[in-house]
Structure 1
Amino acid sequence: MPGVAFIQDLAVILIVAAAAGWLCRRSGLSPVVGYLAAGALVGPHTPPLTLVAGSERVAAAAQLGLVFLMFSIGLRLSWRRIRRLGFSLLLGTIGGAVMMYYVGRLLGAAMGWTTIESVFFASMLMVSSSTIVGRLVQDSEAMHERAGQLAAGFSLLEAVVAVVMLTVLNSWVHLDNAARPEIGSTLARLGGFIALAAVLGLLLLPWLLRRLGRVASEDLQTLGTAGLLLGGAAVAYQAGYSLALGPFLLGAVVADTPHRAQVERTFDTLRDVFAPVFFVAIGMQVDLRDIGGAWWLVLGISLLTIVARVGTSAVALALTGTPVRDALRAGFILTPIGEFSFIIAQLGLAAAVLRASFYPLVIGIALVTGAVAPWLTRRSAKLADRLLRYQRPWVLDWLQVYHAWLRRLHFRGRLEKLWKVSRKRFWQIGIEVLFVTGLLLFSQQLLGAVQNWLGTDWLFPNGPEVIFWVALSLVVLAPVVAIWRNLSALALVYTQVLTARGERAVSARPLLETALKAVGGGALFFWLAAVLPAEGTARMLLLASAVVALLGLLLLRRRLVYWHSRLEVELQTAVEISDVSEGGGMTEWIEEHGTWRLHIAECTVPDLAECRGQAIAELGVRQRFGCSVVGIDRQGFFISLPEATTVLYPRDRLLLLGTRRQVRAGKEFLLRTSGTAPSLDGIEAVRMETMMVAADSPVVGLSLAALRLARRHGVQIAGIHRGRLRTLNPPATEVLTAGDELLALGTAEQLDEFRTALAPLALEDGK
């Protein structure tokens, strides 16, 4: 049976992935290296160890793993996090990617490869593996150091660069191989798609998740979110983009909502299961003999890649204001390539623009860089210090002067105030332009979906088409009018600033304002002319619909302005609310703290930890090891500076502060597990039973507070039936009398113990 064969193949993949990941963890390597090697060993190219032969079935599971992997990467990258990472890190990421791209192009030219082969190869090397880098930063306990946060943020922003490159390369392979893609139109189309998905997602997803949270159970919420996730991947593929784009965008949108922690907690398990399947499937597609036959080429290019990635990343970060030592440390962490490089290689092979030898080459480079990366990460501080000792003093002096100049390079006086006033309007114009661009560029696909759903002659001949264009015109006109209003406001503001001095300048104010509005209006006209659909009668029908919509706009102007304002408020609320719920992120580093020798590390309390259920004071972590618990992340809720009476529970993420030796000893103590399992009597074991108080029972005449039933027996009195009176949830001052019928709450053992306590002389015996 095909289904049984798929289950067998998936079982083999998961078992070998678990074994390879465990071995790599024990040896200090990245688990991704083990997944790739395990896939190559059990795949169809390595007889007699060929344990998995159904490559088509495994490829389907790999696509599912790719979806969950991209979704998890998107969850870590949101608009708020980009703002916290800072514009300088964004510039550094772009600069490092561009430099690495040209290094790859030069290497391809030196190898005698064709232009398109060099472009694909350079694209494979220009982005690091977010999966490997994130794990390296966590395992090396560098997440709370400047270098670790720089590397993690740099890697996440490189994912955006990879998405852009995938789009450009995808447009290239669909053209003639000799032709070059139109970068401007390709990026505009991608920007429109992203803006369209982001705006619709921020408007609809929070509302949908709130509704699911109210009317559906948690399992139904998971099913609904999973359906949206897979549907997003299908929509991106149907729009002509990589399957990875949809989950990545959906994850980034969910990350900007208050439901991020819940969704992330739900899908972490699915990611942990299917992401290794993706890497194992990648390894299954390569023959280890091909890598071994070109071992010298793999090692040589891997060495060049490591040196180039360290150099380009460090230079880019240093040029954007990062101290040289931290820039070098981050560069050493950013050496491994991974998932995006594999996707780019698969795109080139599927389009037949790359030779088959490129695939084992990129897998070999990923294996080498992934194997070396943990060693480089652990020794990044020593390697950076050693490189700085050999650096020329004048270079370091020049960098210090340059960094001081960057710190002074801020807006001053009127320009600073002008930027603060106009910044929000520029962002609104940009988002609205991209949103309208996405609507118009993908209008034909949207119309096709509507016609497939309703038919071509619904209500009247060509009814869906006419209704669609009229509705689209109404939807587009509102943001277009908002763009014009923002342009007019900017023209007024800039006119006031530019003509603030001098009588002649003041007299020229109306002319300058009109000129600025004319420039803005002309740009608006040419932009709309460029993005309006021109296929068949679409343009004429859209223009006619625009006239009808314009009349509707005049009649419903106030209502449309109100709706548009509500949409803006909803978007801002969706982004701002979740700022409170998400911890972590990049913080401003004001001054170095290395001389204090203090270190911050994380650890998660295991399910069977010996410390579970005990207060921090009882554990004595600070007295015994010298480190302090300075934070607890409990189910997405952060407890800052917990009190000594705070009890630790399984799955708590603890933040420890101390020297490296103190933190390491504290982690070993907190991570100890016991051989005894916790009590299985959970909520499902709690029940209620009725019991009678006999006349000679020792509890007669005593209050509930004096009996201390909860402390002695773990039982709660939920109700008392006395004569014709029933008392629910009686107070602690209630006194028990003979003949009372008690409704007791507890487990079976607790209730049996309490029943025994009601018997004569039981209270005296228990004293």
Structure 2
Amino acid sequence: MAHVPPLILDLALILGVAGITTLIFKKLNQPLVLGYLLAGLLVGPNFPLFPTILETESIRTWADIGVIFLLFGLGLEFSFKKLVQVGGAASLTGLLEIGAMLLLGYSTGTWLGWSAMDSLFLGGIMAISSTTIILRAFEELGLKTRRFVSLVFGILIIEDLVAILLLVLLSTLAISQRFAGMELLGSLLKLGFFLTVWFLAGIFLIPSLLRRLRQTLTDETLLILSLGLCFVMVVLVTSAGFSSALGAFLMGSILAETIFVEKIEHLLRPIKDLFGAVFFVSVGMLINPVLLLDYLGPVLLISATVILGKAFFVSLGAVLAGQSLRHALATGMSMTQIGEFSFIIATLGVSLRVTSDFLYPIAVAVSVLTTFTTPYLMRLAEPFYRVLERQLPSRWRASLQTYSAGTQRITQVSDWQQVLRTYLQAVTINTVICIALILLTTYFLTPIVTFRIIASPWGEMLTALLALSLMAPFLWALSVKKLRSTSYVTLWRSRVFSRGPLVALEAARIAIGVGLVSFLLAQLFSVLVGLGAAVLMIGVVLPLFTHRLQQTYARLENRFLYNLNARALEQQRPMAYRHLVPWDAHLASFEVSPDADCLGKTLTELAFREKYGVNIVQIERGSRTIVAPNGAEPLFPGDKLTVVGTDEQLQRFKPTVAPTPAQVVHTTPEVMLKQLMVDAQFPFLGKSIREARIREKTHGLVVGIERGGQRMLNPDPATVFQLGDVVWISGEKQLILSLEHENESPSA
């Protein structure tokens, strides 16, 4: 009989038991991750009544690979463009909640008498909610069309990014065993630098590579190439002193900007499921039931702290961000659990041997308890709101409504904000690229040139020439390129006292360019030579070759921007859960069911607006996208409707087009809901909606007007725009933005 390696026996035991437990949990309509945890407990060393795995270290290696695949998959769903699209409400709420839970977790651990490192890791474990559990609960409870869901997903995006930063910071603290502020600041700056370099280089190179190979990419080659890129990034990131999870997440977020992301996600799913199962089983293997009984009190205390703390701080953050009390409570009570990232943070503490034995099983137990309570708390959100509303004094309710309406007004970005944003972006990006080229030159290029090609001093001169040639376009954009936008010109002409700070900004970026060139040349020659050559290059050489450098930089910039937006340009990929509107009317999408009674009828015949108060702002039909369809447009099976309305209106409307529960689809980037303030420069002041020809100019609709604190949904076409109105327009994004520009141009 052939010998079977222990690893194969272990995998047979793990996957066999996991298969049985997950079938049971699926039958019980419970999250599969709990089945994996139970399987790990059964095959682990702490459960002697069942066969135990033989090679623990090999399984740990597989579990590490599982973490890489989990983070790679998370990065594919993340996309840095989504982070840019996350609204201010989600950012404020997420950062407030995470900061409060970190402090609350650390305080809880300290109160229990735990060490500082245990308390710190507990704070990290308690800070991050479970995306998987929330998604599943929303689907099971039919909540995905509710307006507050977009806020939840925005917060989850913020949490994912902060969780990655936590992994890096906790690793640094665990290794140094010190809470030095300067050391942490240095780690953050190092992390920010490498993240920027890797992201810029990845977006510039990888989408272009995949497009060139497009004709030769099969499913197999695309999968292997994607995994190869993932593990190469893991190696690069770990070589720089960061965790492998960061590398996997970063490469996933880079590939998320390519047109192949859906195919990669589809191909990766079975592999991610396999290694993810091994990871969660390995988590369950570390659960010690006896230890849990000894720490039952802390488990219950921490579970209650997670539930109450997250519900309170998320709700508080949402209210401060201008959400209504109803939506704030629904958001807060949806995020009262911990999950995948908490396991990864707890695993980090175990692997670095800096946390106590009891912390890991406590984290797992808290996750299990909070997972079970999540659906019930989601259901209780609305009844709890009604009770709280009755108990609140009328003055408080009025104040909350006034605050919510006030924070959701259009906020004008000042000229100084626009100028500083432009300068900061240009300086940061080009400085990071130049520093990366300097490091590449001094650490890699110089030894190769001087030892293998030309000896000193000619080797250093050739190296400096090559480095400055590579840096030239970016030095030009940093120090010479004119950044004089409309806001800059406005400040320069209208306010004499603004000229000093503007000149200081110009001088600062020139000084940064001189400093970068001086730093490079000082590494190869002397400080005086470096400073003199830097002044000569910034003051003479770069301005002399401005035209050529401008062309080179424009080509590089256009390539980067095309790669960044290729997915939207080529596929018009729908955006996921973008927060679009700050009041009750919002965008949602539905797929027309083949069983719907509305099939074949025109929009005029169906009269959705009259019956339900909703507006159809877009129809996706195959490869066609019909924006602002007219009343003669019929509906067909499979049509994807983008609809604007309130939660209640959408709930009444849904059975008309989807008699059976339908999968919610996402709105496309071509459609948006925009609010405009009617001021003295508004081009349609004193005109009616019909006279303004909004429909023709934006391929859209005026879906609401706020006037004197009163909101008019679906205003009559004869309604006249009055000074102080807040107008809500839904339609084609570019046309609405051009209309907004037309509104602003007279005052420019």
TM-score w.r.t. length of structure 1: 0.72
Letter in 1 for 2:70: L
Letter in 1 for 2:244: L
Shift of 1:224: 1.0
For the Cα contact (< 8 Å) 2:101–2:309, is it kept in 1? Answer: yes
2-side partners of 1:37 and 1:484: how far apart?
60
1-side partners of 2:575 and 2:121: how far apart?
35
Farther-moved stretch of structure 1 (5-14 vs 39-48): 5-14
Which residue matches 1:724?
A: none
Which residue matches 1:500?
A: 494
| Per-residue Cα deviation, 1:6-50 (whole angstroms, up to 9, x for no partner) | 333233333333333333333333222222222122222211213
Shift of 1:221: 1.9
Shift of 1:593: 5.6
Change (3 A) 1:399 1:165: same
| Per-residue Cα deviation, 1:116-151 (whole angstroms, up to 9, x for no partner) | 332222122111122333333333332332222222
Could you tell me which of 550, 554, 562 is aligned with 2:551?
Answer: 562
Change (3 A) 1:540 1:351: farther
Which residue matches 1:229?
A: 230
2-side partners of 1:91 and 1:458: how far apart?
54
SS in 1 for 2:45: coil
Indicate whether 1:481 and 2:473 are aligned: no
Which residue matches 2:186?
A: 185
Which of 1 and 2 has greater Rg? 1
Indicate whether 1:459 and 2:453 are aligned: yes
Change (3 A) 1:263 1:6: same
Change (3 A) 1:350 1:219: closer
For the Cα contact (< 8 Å) 1:36–1:367, is it kept in 2? Answer: no
Shift of 1:61: 1.8
1-side partners of 2:509 and 2:202: how far apart?
29
| Per-residue Cα deviation, 1:554-588 (whole angstroms, up to 9, x for no partner) | 88654443222111111221223323532132141
Indicate whether 1:430 and 2:397 are aligned: no
2-side partners of 1:654 and 1:4: how far apart?
56
For the Cα contact (< 8 Å) 2:147–2:584, is it kept in 1? Answer: no
1-side partners of 2:520 and 2:204: how far apart?
25
Q: Structure 1 vs Structure 2: percent identity of aligned residues? A: 24
Change (3 A) 1:476 1:592: same
Shift of 1:199: 0.8
1-side partners of 2:662 and 2:486: how far apart?
65
Change (3 A) 1:395 1:30: farther
Letter in 1 for 2:430: E
SS in 2 for 1:182: helix
2-side partners of 1:522 and 1:552: how far apart?
16
For the Cα contact (< 8 Å) 1:338–1:366, is it kept in 2? Answer: yes
1-side partners of 2:176 and 2:465: how far apart?
34
1-side partners of 2:134 and 2:507: how far apart?
49
Farther-moved stretch of structure 1 (296-305 vs 169-178): 169-178
Which residue matches 2:24?
A: 23
2-side partners of 1:533 and 1:143: how far apart?
58
For the Cα contact (< 8 Å) 1:441–1:533, is it kept in 2? Answer: no
2-side partners of 1:616 and 1:238: how far apart?
60
1:703-714 to structure 2, matched below 5 A, reads none
Which residue matches 1:685?
A: none
Which residue matches 1:701?
A: none
SS in 1 for 2:580: coil
Shift of 1:203: 0.8
Shift of 1:668: 7.1
Which residue matches 2:573?
A: 582
Could you tell me which of 555, 559, 584 is aligned with 1:592?
Answer: 584
Change (3 A) 1:500 1:600: closer
| Per-residue Cα deviation, 1:695-734 (whole angstroms, up to 9, x for no partner) | xxxxxxxxxxxxxxxxxxxxxxxxxxxxxxxxxxxxxxxx
2-side partners of 1:634 and 1:211: how far apart?
30
1-side partners of 2:488 and 2:514: how far apart?
21
Indicate whether 1:517 and 2:506 are aligned: yes
Which residue matches 2:83?
A: 82
SS in 1 for 2:357: coil
| Per-residue Cα deviation, 1:146-187 (whole angstroms, up to 9, x for no partner) | 222222221122011111122222222232436455233222
Farther-moved stretch of structure 1 (464-473 vs 424-433): 464-473
Which residue matches 1:118?
A: 119
2-side partners of 1:577 and 1:9: how far apart?
44
2-side partners of 1:101 and 1:110: how far apart?
14
Which residue matches 1:159?
A: 160
Indicate whether 1:146 and 2:147 are aligned: yes
1-side partners of 2:309 and 2:623: how far apart?
38
Letter in 2 for 1:478: P
Which residue matches 1:289?
A: 290
1-side partners of 2:500 and 2:301: how far apart?
64
Which residue matches 1:703?
A: none
Which residue matches 1:721?
A: none
1:528-543 to structure 2, matched below 5 A, reads 543=530
Which residue matches 1:301?
A: 302
Which residue matches 1:216?
A: 217
For the Cα contact (< 8 Å) 1:105–1:118, is it kept in 2? Answer: yes
Change (3 A) 1:527 1:615: farther
For the Cα contact (< 8 Å) 2:83–2:157, is it kept in 1? Answer: no
Letter in 1 for 2:259: P
Shift of 1:210: 1.0
For the Cα contact (< 8 Å) 2:237–2:246, is it kept in 1? Answer: yes
Shift of 1:319: 1.1
Shift of 1:302: 0.6
Letter in 2 for 1:565: A
Shift of 1:298: 0.5
Which residue matches 1:380?
A: 381
Structure 1 alignment gaps of length 5 or more: 606-610, 671-767
Change (3 A) 1:12 1:602: farther
For the Cα contact (< 8 Å) 1:657–1:663, is it kept in 2? Answer: no
SS in 1 for 2:128: coil
1-side partners of 2:563 and 2:377: how far apart?
40
SS in 1 for 2:162: helix
Which residue matches 1:710?
A: none
TM-score w.r.t. length of structure 2: 0.73
For the Cα contact (< 8 Å) 1:39–1:279, is it kept in 2? Answer: yes
Letter in 2 for 1:277: V
Which residue matches 1:268?
A: 269
2-side partners of 1:637 and 1:579: how far apart?
15
For the Cα contact (< 8 Å) 1:458–1:464, is it kept in 2? Answer: no
Shift of 1:544: 9.5
1-side partners of 2:404 and 2:24: how far apart?
44
For the Cα contact (< 8 Å) 1:173–1:353, is it kept in 2? Answer: yes
The size of the alignment, in residue pairs, is 638
Change (3 A) 1:351 1:470: farther
Which residue matches 2:718?
A: none
Letter in 2 for 1:348: G
Change (3 A) 1:44 1:81: same
1:638-717 to structure 2, matched below 5 A, reads 646=637, 659=652, 662=655, 666-667=659-660
Indicate whether 1:200 and 2:201 are aligned: yes
Q: Cα RMSD over matched residues?
A: 4.6
Which residue matches 2:695?
A: none
Change (3 A) 1:282 1:669: closer
For the Cα contact (< 8 Å) 2:40–2:285, is it kept in 1? Answer: yes
2-side partners of 1:556 and 1:104: how far apart?
57
Letter in 2 for 1:584: M
2-side partners of 1:274 and 1:3: how far apart?
21
